[in-house]
């Protein structure tokens, strides 16, 4: 297998764009990745990519978008999680639209789910080696600050990986100065799927609301990560786009071509479907470029 990484940004329901891209990759048999990296909703997409389940992510988001057990204020008030963790990572994952655990476990592709260590305010790159055991790591990656309970993994406390490393292409490539991932040597190239258009500039936004809740005042390092996330995110994207322009670039970036109107916490079915189609169309237009970049042999 060629030494390529597939890096999937999060963004809640904006991951419908990612679902469109990854479905087209799977339809063309482009599994030439030694590793797949997912953050938050991107980690959920990574699960279905590694298990070779075309259409699963889009199907789940469209089928359950109005189900109060999936994502709602009711879920937050009754479970402490805006996104219903038990429903998503147990009933949907294992019963309603089950993940192909056997195929996931048989795949040689490594999967990393990025979560944020609440105590230290640093990213954790959890390797998901086996399902159903490691689904807890994906749940940690996708637990949004302010509207989710912390998830305990091996004695640590974790929340959404987007707070500390929204687009982990530097870790995936093993770049100098990047966070080191134990037992991982770095990929030669990375296909990076974003869920915001290229012109997007993040502000304090949702992190500001979380900070005003004072929910994490006892975790000063995580509070600092929330305060500075928008600055680090914009700078991370600047470095990514700069790297993309280099001759013999090690990254290929796929991003929405117009502003994304879909909100993290929900949207109507038409908007979700439109975003999915945008992802499919861009991946289809660039399929030969992607195939050549990762060294796929037909």
Which residues are within 8 A (CB) of 12 and not within 5 positions of it... i.e. 6 or more apart?
40, 41, 71, 83, 144, 263, 264, 265, 266
Distance CA 126, CA 93 (A): 19
Catalytic annotation, pick one of 148, 160, 165, 166: 160
Catalytic annotation, pick one of 34, 35, 40, 45: 40
Catalytic, 160? Answer: yes
3-state secondary structure 37-86: EEECHHHHHHHHHHCCCCCHHHHHHHHHCCCCCCECHHHHHHHCCCECHH
3-state secondary structure of 280: helix
3-state secondary structure of 137: helix
3-state secondary structure of 156: strand
Catalytic, 248? Answer: no
Distance CA 195, CA 75 (A): 25
Q: Exposed, middle or buried: residue 102 (CB in 10 Å: 0-12, 13-18, 19+)?
A: exposed
Active site residues: 40, 160
């Amino acid at each position: 297998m060629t030494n390529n990484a597939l890096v999937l940004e999060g963004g809640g329901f904006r991951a419908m764009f990612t679902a469109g891209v990854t479905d087209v990759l799977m339809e063309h048999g482009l599994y030439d990745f030694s590793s797949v990296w997912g953050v938050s909703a991107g980690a959920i997409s990574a699960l279905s990519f590694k298990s070779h389940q075309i259409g699963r992510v889009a199907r789940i988001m469209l089928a359950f978008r109005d189900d109060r057990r999936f994502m709602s204020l009711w879920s937050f008030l009754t479970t402490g999680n805006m996104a219903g963790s038990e429903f998503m990572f147990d009933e949907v994952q294992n019963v309603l639209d089950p993940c192909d655990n056997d195929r996931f476990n048989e795949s040689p592709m490594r999967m990393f789910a990025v979560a944020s260590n609440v105590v230290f305010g640093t990213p954790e790159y959890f390797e998901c080696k086996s399902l159903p055991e490691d689904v807890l790591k994906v749940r940690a990656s996708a637990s949004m600050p302010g509207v989710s309970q912390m998830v305990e993994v091996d004695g640590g406390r974790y929340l959404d990986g987007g707070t500390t490393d929204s687009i982990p292409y530097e870790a995936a490539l093993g770049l100098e100065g990047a966070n080191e991932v134990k037992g991982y040597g770095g990929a030669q190239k990375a296909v990076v799927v974003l869920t915001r258009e290229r012109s997007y500039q993040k502000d304090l936004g949702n992190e500001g609301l979380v900070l005003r809740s004072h929910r994490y005042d006892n975790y000063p390092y995580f509070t600092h990560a929330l305060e500075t996330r928008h600055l680090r995110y914009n700078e991370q994207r600047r470095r990514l786009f700069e790297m993309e322009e280099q001759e013999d670039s090690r990254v290929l970036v796929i991003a929405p071509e117009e502003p994304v109107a879909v909100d993290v916490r929900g949207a109507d079915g038409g908007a979700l479907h439109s975003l999915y189609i945008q992802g499919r169309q861009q991946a289809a237009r660039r399929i030969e470029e992607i195939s050549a970049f990762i060294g796929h042999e037909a």
